[in-house]
Chains A and B, each alone.
Chain A
């Protein structure tokens, strides 16, 4: 099923699309997980079959339109000779056509069911549970554990060990969102008042981008998340580090930053475990400096981007719930120093 031919066809049509179809951090056709792989296979199968059907129709159309015909004066309307044999022949072809269509449809449906079942079966093997609560416009991610104090929260990133199926519990608090990491699996909606579930697994290391796929308001466009697949050992180490409370600031500037953080608007919305900041309006920042991106996948993490984000979030994500806090330049610098130390 590693169909190169249909891909080539697609490339002819898509001109520039080819390369990124095969390598994309957010591409359904660059599968890195079991389900995405099966779906991609299925898609290529559908494409091959349907492209053939399409080609057939186009050829028929061309022939029908331009096939050589007897010259001569064109009879008009009912004077046109409707020879009974032609009519009968066409009817027979019509029946064949209908049967053929049905056969193709049945085949494709069968394959679709098979893949659907196969994808679902993965759920029984999930070893890890992650609970995602979608909010306007970011992802709250909670790693569950039977021992309550071994559960922890992060935001806009999911790390998972390679090859381990992860059960993802999906909830929404405000409006409907949709959880979609194309490289790993198709999407599942997060609906207020309902709890949905999906399973993802990464077959190879890498960083995959997911994005909200159900329109959710102002910043639907900038509601992304990173899924980082790492080896098991690395994952375990990461997990341990996430369990720890935030590191205490060591240098003077960071200490001042912590003071500013705890006495300014930051504390109204964010949690930094180990301090008195424990609000859940915005993302948990306990280990913000370890995250790949900022503002729900809007910017890659860097101290500079963090500065820009804090200084004027409404320029980067107009309408987002992060307000312009009006910190002075000094305050901003110290808060940056503090946050950048939260590894």
Chain B
């Protein structure tokens, strides 16, 4: 590789790192614009007619953003997600740190599950949690099974040591979802 080329590549690499860092560390407390409702892209199941719907543009701000994920973690506790799903191991609700996604593993699917509720006991939080915060919780839920970059995933909490922190949870490849796509059938 010639020297200018190398320089260009290293510059590009640096820029990529830089941009990634900017995204990951951005702290925009207001979140994505409100007013629109729900992600349009969720599909229950693995089948869709024609081409799949593109992902929701708002995911950019939350997916892999350390601040939003950490906020999501706090909200996960505050809004009693943890009293049903424990620290990811599950309790009344299914575990969230494993590789099984009943209603889909994408950010949009998790968003939809929180908003709509699910028939076997997941309550609907529609109108109860502002959408920006639901995005944050959804982003955190993905980090629980290592779906987010470790540099953005949360470390341990200042509380009882329940499990290795999200950033140390090995990525559990979703077993029953389309890669990057919406989730599949329920377990029950």
Contacts and interface: CB of A to CB of B under 8 A. Distances in A.
Task: State yes or no: do A and B touch (Cβ within 8 Å).
Answer: yes
B150 interface: no
A192 B129 contact: no
A129 to B, nearest CB: 26
A323 interface: yes
Contacts of B74: 321
A113 interface: no
A323 B128 contact: no
The winner among A192, A281, A324 for most chain B CB atoms within 10 A is A324
A223 interface: no
A325 B130 contact: yes
Interface string A295-320: 00000000000000000001000111
Interface string B70-108: 000010001100000000000000000000000000000
A164 interface: no
Contacts of B127: 263-265
B interface SS class: loop
Contacts of B130: 265, 323-326
Contact of B132 (A267, A268, A323): A323
Nearest to A269: B78
A8 B181 CA distance: 74
Nearest to B79: A268
Contacts of A324: 30-31, 34, 130, 132
Contacts of A314: 29-30
Contacts of B133: 323
B135 to A, nearest CB: 11
A318 B130 CA distance: 16
Nearest to B35: A326
A267 B128 contact: yes
A73 to B, nearest CB: 64
B7 interface: no
Contacts of A215: none
A115 to B, nearest CB: 36
Nearest to A320: B29
B156 interface: no
18 contacts: A192-B158, A218-B29, A263-B128, A264-B127, A264-B128, A265-B127, A265-B128, A265-B129, A268-B79, A279-B78, A314-B30, A319-B29, A320-B29, A321-B74, A323-B132, A326-B34, A326-B130, A326-B131
Interface of A: 192, 218, 263-265, 267-269, 279, 281, 314, 318-321, 323-326
